[in-house]
Amino acid sequence: MGWEGFLLVVLLLIICVNSFNSLAFLTVENQVNLFVLSVEKIIIALIMTFIILNAEIDLSVASMMGLAACALGWMVESGTSTSTAIGLCLIIGLVGGAFNAYWITIVKLPSLVVTLAMLIGFRGLGRVLIEDRSIRVFPPWFENLGQQPILGPLPLSILIFLVLLVIAVVILQYTGFGRYVYVIGISQEVATYSGVRVARVKTILFMVSGLISALAGILFSARLGSVRGDMGLGFELDIITMVLLGGVSIFGGAGSIYGVILSILIVLYLRNGMSLSNVTGHIQTGVIGVILILSAMIPNIKSWLESIFDKKYAP
């Protein structure tokens, strides 16, 4: 049984416990709500999967979310039309991603360092734009977009997530670009000597990461109806947690998008189940932490057991 199989068992277990614990769990309303409450994070988790598979990391995603949200609020407040401002914010995302990519692929600095700097930089820029204020200037259509269902019970943000999910699966599993992402993750030297344009792949990934993060920031603004400087603060850790719990190796090259989908479901269902049982705050954080530690330990225990087994019965 692989990691995905293990996650599937855990997921089914959580669904069973939740269903028995609360009548509300399986209602459509609750199912939609639990995704809506975290939709910005899980959208970014998709692109983060690509980046970690590529043996890189992008710590600046949540700050880019905040920057896009602040820039949106600031522009609309200064009289720009909301639709123009949305377009400009997406461009900010692309430019921010390209900036990250420049330092990583051309100057060849580690992505951990570059994006850590931008975690601070983007956040700072956002705070400069709107300072310590909370801005509530959006037209009703924009707020409705974030809050009202548009297809059945599903709001726009969930539909965007589903579309991006399909695109992510197709690219990663069925295209040459997807294979390059894995190959570079396994060994950058081998990829380079095999003629893979490593810098180009990385640049595309970081630019898309910036773009998606800005999109998430815009969706977040629409959902909450107002913006302020601390939006999305600390989200990068939740996002990276989901990807790693999904079995993607932090050293790159190993893991699958299916594992990440399962881990997203596990984290969301676990949180929702605890909320419905009125478990709050610190205990929730603690439980998720323990699950993570276990998830990191189990593969090690498995290989440790295998090594004992091999020694005993080796010919």
Partner 1 sequence: MHKKIISILTVTALLFGATVMAHTIAKKGMRADLVLMPKFLGILVFDQANNGAQEAHKELGNPGKLEFLGPTPENSVAGQIEILTTATTQGQDGIMISNNAGDQIAPAAKAARAKGMTVVTWDSPIPSADGEQLFIAQVDFNETGMVMADMALNIIGPGGGEFAVLSATPDAANQNAWNASMKEHLKDPKYSKIKLVDLVYGDDQSEKSYNQALALVDKYPNLKLIMAPTTVGIAAAAKAMQDEGMCDQVKVSGLGLPAEMVSYTLNGCAPEFALWSFVDLGYLSYYATYMMATGQIEGVAGETFKAGRMGYYTIEKDPTRDKGLRVKMGPFSVYNKDNVEAASK
**Binding track, positions 16-55, relative to partner 1; x by CB under 8 A:** ------x-x--x-xx--x---x------------------
Q: Cβ 161 to partner 1, closest distance in Å? A: 17
Q: Say whether residue 254 binds partner 1 (CB under 8 A).
A: no
- 81, 285, 303, 307: which one binds partner 1 (CB under 8 A): 285
Q: What is the DSSP string of the chain?
A: --HHHHHHHHHHHHHHHHHHH-TTTTSHHHHHHHHHTTHHHHHHHHHHHHHHHTT---TTHHHHHHHHHHHHHHHHHTT--HHHHHHHHHHHHHHHHHHHHIIIIIS---HHHHHHHHHHHHHHHHHHHHTT-EE----HHHHHHHHSEEETTEEHHHHHHHHHHHHHHHHHHHSHHHHHHHHHHH-HHHHHHTT--HHHHHHHHHHHHHHHHHHHHHHHHHHHSSEETTTTTTHHHHHHHHHHHTT--TTSS---HHHHHHHHHHHHHHHHHHHHTT--HHHHHHHHHHHHHHHHHHHHHHHHHHHHHHHHH--
- 20, 108, 195, 282: which one binds partner 1 (CB under 8 A): 282
- 9, 26, 136, 299: which one binds partner 1 (CB under 8 A): 136
Q: Say whether residue 278 binds partner 1 (CB under 8 A).
A: yes
Total residues interacting with partner 1, rule: CB under 8 A: 31
Q: Say whether residue 223 binds partner 1 (CB under 8 A).
A: yes
- Of 12-20, 156-164, 205-213, 280-288, which part binds partner 1 (CB under 8 A)? 280-288
Q: Cβ 118 to partner 1, closest distance in Å? A: 21
- 84, 134, 175, 194: which one binds partner 1 (CB under 8 A): 134
Residues interacting with partner 1, by CB under 8 A?
22, 24, 27, 29-30, 33, 37, 132-134, 136, 143, 146-147, 223-226, 228-230, 233-234, 272, 275-276, 278, 280-282, 285
